[in-house]
Chain A
Amino acid sequence: MLIRIIKNRLFLGAIVLFSIFSIIPLFLILFFIFKNGISSLDFLFTSQILNAIVGTFILIILAGIFSIPLGILAGIYLSESKGRLVYFVRLCVEVLQGIPSIVIGIIVYLLIVVPMKGFSAISGGFALGIIMLPVIIKSTEETLKLIPYFLKEASLALGVPYYKTILKVILPAGFSGILTGILLSIARVSGETAPLLLTAFGSCFMNLDISKPINSLPLLIFNYATSPYSDWISQAWGASLILVSLVLILNIIAKLVVKKWKIQF
């Protein structure tokens, strides 16, 4: 009997220990970024970091223009329709989500960069958009499935046409879930680097022309972190601090959105 109790205790101890150990890298990373990043933040306006921040925002906006409307529409399609084709589309979304981002980079490189004869912000935005797409589709579909059926029935019973029921009743009811999906997908792609190596490529200058190469925070971190110059490396730490803060803020906003506009009936 005693042995069984001891085993039970030992097991719990091991579980707690392993769990704590797996959180330690998180603190180490955050500590490193904070310690090394904070001292280089005064570089901010005299260095490349500002270009990279602007570039990151431009890329995200370009990606959103393409992927947000399409993602929401496809999400509605998946939640509203039935049949073999829907099953197949869902499978495609699943596969799309699993494609390594570097492979998406290759595709956009071949389909846009090569015909356009040069790296550009547009191609970078397109690559990020493809990565955002499945996340938005899935969150839209899952949110819309949670909305009670009587809402739709009530609207249809009042004689509201189907498309208006979807656009004016169902979509607003699922607003928080869809917005959360969009925010999380932005958080995900704002740290994406691999596809940008083949598309946006990076640039040393402030650039607002979307047909030209553009810099972004992850690209700057990659290029500067692997350089041999110590002041570039310290700028990379500063950029990391900004990027991690950006991602964290987006995640927190997403959580607040869920809390504030929770689906309640």
Chain B
Amino acid sequence: MALTTAQSGLSRARRGVAPGGPGGPANRKSKLSAQTSRTFFWLLLPSVILLVLIHGYPLIHAGVQATHDGSLIQTGNFVGGENFATVLSSPAFWKAAQFTLMFTIVGVFGSWLVGLGLALLLRTKIPAGGTFKVLLLLPWVVPIVVSSTAWNWLVATPDSLIPSLFRNLGLGTPLFLADPNLAAITVMVFKVWVSFPFMMMMISAALASVDTTVYEAASMDGATRWQQFSQITLPLIARSTYISWILMTIFCVNDFPTIYLLTGGGPVSATTSLVVLAYRTVFQDFATGPGVAIAFLMTMTLVVISVLLYRQIRKSSVE
């Protein structure tokens, strides 16, 4: 069954899905005349040119840079896998990889759990429900530059609002951005705060496609709330959950501003993720080769993840 994105007006008026892909009846082939192919070619051309310029060429060039000892000005000499060896043997790389992994796990599951809780709360009619829905999307809509500034004001110094609050409650004065462990936790909480609305929207859309009479029938049969949740709700949102997990994984691994703007990767590289490390290596240490090598290793990992996701989406659209 196709999930509808009900709240967006994108309800999919599908009339009989032809096997092999979305949309349209099977007699499409007959229309694929020479004229159609020609038109399709021209319609696609601008997109192809852009893809080659902004994605294709840079990827190939990055491959060149990762295997040369050049700089931002010149390509330098071919050094083979030396940059990769340098990167893979540096403790900073593994530390950043470890932080990226933690950041991603907390980011994905944290935002999913909060988003799920709120989507379930907002599911039934409550006063001003629509208003809450819009208000709760704000963290995701407000530019990161703005929200990181606000978070900074709230936690940065011992005299900021939240540390003062802790102090007045007799809990000591936490240094949210100066203590390495606390800084890591703060950045992750910040990421969850930014991302949960996305999850909430995904889950809400999936829930909207569920017929509520199913629940009435289930409670007549004596199913408990928990059983209704685990037997009905979870299976129904499983697919969109899976997709949103992988998407959020991609978002978290690629995230630069959330971390860089709140902590700059510090204190003492405690919150340096792979992207931040790559950025610093290239633009602050001017070690182009190793920096691009880090980006390249990330790229390979993400290709695998996104191909997995793509197959999942394709598979489920033929149900």
Co-complex (A, B): no
